[in-house]
Amino acid sequence: MHPVFTADSIKMIEQAAAKAQGFALFELMERAGRAAFDCMEREWPLAHRVVIVTGSGNNAGDGLILAGLALRVGMQVTLVPIKPLDELTGDAAKAWQQLKDKNIAVKAPSQGLFEQADVIVDALLGTGFKGQLREEYAQVIEQINQSGMPVLALDLPSGVYADSGLCADSHIKADHTVSFIFYKVCQVINEGLAAQGELHLATLGISQSQFYQQQPIAWKQSYADVIDEIPERSATTYKQACGHLLCIGGDFTMGGAIMLATETALRAGAGLVTTFLHPDNRSAALGFCPEAMWHGVAFEELSFNSLIEASPKQYDAVVLGPGLGRSEWARQVFEQSFSYAVEQKLPCLIDGDGLFWLQQLIEQDENLALPQALIVTPHPGEAARLLSWDTATVSEDRITAAKAIAERYRCICLLKGAGTILADGQQLVIAGGAHPAMATAGLGDVLSGLIGSLLVQGMSAWDATRVATSIHFAAGVEAAGDRTRGMLASELIEAINYLVNR
């Protein structure tokens, strides 16, 4: 996993590393310019006309170092400074002094100039960008985006807020971004994921295990980080040893959600899955997945507790909420099954409308007994309800929201979004990413079934949630292929089966 830092922490690391290793900060700028130049040559080997747009800080200096290297190999380089180059200060001024006598072209921004470039280098705004974007910067950003030419962003695309991943209305849409030293928050969550294109990390010779008393705000996890954590299975194992998951949900108009969760759980390796749902959905469910045990729950005839008591089965975890709805039927199902999970000390994942009912119970009793291992999986709207915030506040700072939910509900919070955030009150992991084809109904139900499956196969609640999230995203990318729309949630199930067996 990769550590993720705030912009201020990375500045502190830069200074401490330079002091500890005995080099000037200008050397880091030279390393950054070299790393960016190497990336440009690697990604656009035929590029000759390079336009470098500079601002006022060290990001401009990085761009000027790149300009010198490009000149040295015979490229046609044009500088487009938004702040006059002679007004630069610090290391950026030093970079300009090294370059100014080399007869380099310096021009004002124009649409025509950008359209003639083979590559445009964004060295406008670095990690220090905050507040409102000034008009002269907004105009040049729009010209760059409208040119349609390839863009390489240095450290992060201009107009992206480093510590949130949110973007100004005008922001660079890069094809490639070279991040320096460590990942920033904007490179793992929110709209920054779409703005940066393909992300490259250049460590600039700074140790990735030495943080100089700075603490990562989170850790970025990928599928490659977790695939070896899936429990190995003996050739002589049997279904009961592979875990028994209880799934509950599926009101009469929303049976598909619990069906998706159920089949995913089986396909991800659960030995047995029993699912309680509205009786009107039982026939369809049997046809959808005959390998599961489906129980119709009709309260006018039989209570949920009676069904549980009549069943000799032993369950290892509960998935509660997919397709549950907000009817009176749903309320009774939730309250009784939630109590069952608490009494039996079962790990319990709550998703969908189960989160609505959980919040209702907490409002009635702040000292409500909770399952020993509780996992909640809200999207920003559901998270806002759990916290009594508005959705915009959650979206603006999903990291803080995930931490707050984990603390308030004494749980593991999986906060969905572009870059899924996992918090348990002590650890913070960001998994997955952003993919347009995954904007489709039912993916959360598939994820719930996958987490439940890993739970009953013996993983801890934290590890099951963490590992499942990365597998789920990788499966989405695998299933989507070249598509950006029209993928069905059920298509992920086959990909998940493949990935858990690699």
Task: Give 203-243 pLDDT, tens digit per residue.
Answer: 999 988 889 899 999 999 999 999 999 988 989 998 988 89
**Nearest Cα residue to 319 out of 360, 383, 373:** 373
Domain's final residue, options 152, 182, 216:
216
Distance of CA 211 to the CA centre of its chain: 23
Tokens of 251: 């009101």
pLDDT at 58 over 70: yes
3-state secondary structure of 4: strand
Reported pTM: 0.93
Is the same domain home to 480 and 404?
Answer: yes
Is the same domain home to 75 and 110?
Answer: yes
Assess if residue 25 is contained within a domain.
Answer: yes
Q: What domain range is 160 assigned to?
A: 2-216
Is the same domain home to 171 and 250?
Answer: no
pLDDT at 497 over 70: yes
Assess if residue 234 is contained within a domain.
Answer: no
High-pLDDT (> 90) share of the chain, %: 87
Is the same domain home to 399 and 308?
Answer: yes
Q: How confident is the model over 175-200, as pLDDT tens digits?
A: 999 999 999 999 999 999 999 999 99
pLDDT of res. 303: 62
pLDDT of res. 209: 82
CB 189, CB 418: distance < 8 Å: yes
When divided into structural domains, the chain yields a total of 2
Is the alpha carbon torsion for 387, 390, 392, 393 positive or negative? negative
Are β-strands 218-221 and 198-202 bridged in parallel, bridged antiparallel, or unpaired? unpaired
Assess if residue 223 is contained within a domain.
Answer: no
Q: How confident is the model over 470-492, as pLDDT tens digits?
A: 999 999 999 999 999 999 999 99
Is the same domain home to 244 and 202?
Answer: no
pLDDT at 327 over 60: yes
Supply φ then ψ for residue 224, to 5 degrees: -60, -25
Is the same domain home to 9 and 60?
Answer: yes
Assess if residue 35 is contained within a domain.
Answer: yes
Read off the pLDDT band of 144 (50, 70, 90): very high
pLDDT at 427 over 90: yes
In one-letter notation, the amino acid at residue 303 is S
- Give one DSSP letter per residue of 277-345, joined into a string: E-GGGHHHHHHH-TTSEEEE--TTT--HHHHHHH-----SEEEE-TT--SSHHHHHHHHHHHHHHHHHT
pLDDT at 302 over 70: no
pLDDT of res. 231: 87
pLDDT of res. 46: 96
3-state secondary structure of 156: coil
Read off the pLDDT band of 300 (50, 70, 90): low
Q: If you average pLDDT over residues 304-317, what whole number do you get? A: 73
Is the same domain home to 186 and 278?
Answer: no
pLDDT of res. 412: 98
Is the same domain home to 176 and 248?
Answer: no
Rounded Cα gap, residues 493 and 265, in angstroms: 9
Are β-strands 420-423 and 428-431 bridged in parallel, bridged antiparallel, or unpaired? antiparallel
CB 487, CB 452: distance < 8 Å: no
Rounded Cα gap, residues 251 and 296, in angstroms: 10
Q: If you average pLDDT over residues 381-389, what whole number do you get? A: 96
Q: If you average pLDDT over residues 375-394, what whole number do you get? A: 96
3-state secondary structure of 412: strand
Assess if residue 227 is contained within a domain.
Answer: no
Rounded Cα gap, residues 493 and 501, in angstroms: 13
pLDDT of res. 103: 86
Q: If you average pLDDT over residues 275-296, what whole number do you get? A: 91
Q: If you average pLDDT over residues 303-309, what whole number do you get? A: 66
Q: Please, is 365 exposed, middle or buried when counting C-beta atoms within 10 Å of its C-beta (0-12, 13-18, 19+)?
A: exposed
Assess if residue 209 is contained within a domain.
Answer: yes
Helix (H) or strand (E) holding 51, with range, is strand 49-54
pLDDT of res. 314: 87
Is the same domain home to 176 and 317?
Answer: no
**Nearest Cα residue to 320 out of 253, 281, 374:** 374
Is the same domain home to 204 and 245?
Answer: no
High-pLDDT (> 70) share of the chain, %: 97
Rounded Cα gap, residues 126 and 3, in angstroms: 19
Q: At what angle do helices 380-387 and 398-408 cross, to 10 degrees?
A: 50
Alpha helices in 58-176 (DSSP H): 58-72, 90-99, 111-115, 135-147
Average model confidence (pLDDT) across the chain: 94
Assess if residue 231 is contained within a domain.
Answer: no
Give the CA count within 13 Å in the CB-facing half-sphere of 263. Answer: 22
Is the same domain home to 206 and 262?
Answer: no
pLDDT at 301 over 60: no
Is the same domain home to 167 and 255?
Answer: no
Q: What CATH number is given to the structural domain containing 69?
A: 3.40.50.10260
pLDDT at 318 over 70: yes
Assess if residue 169 is contained within a domain.
Answer: yes
Q: What CATH number is given to the structural domain containing 274?
A: 3.40.1190.20
pLDDT of res. 261: 98
pLDDT of res. 208: 81
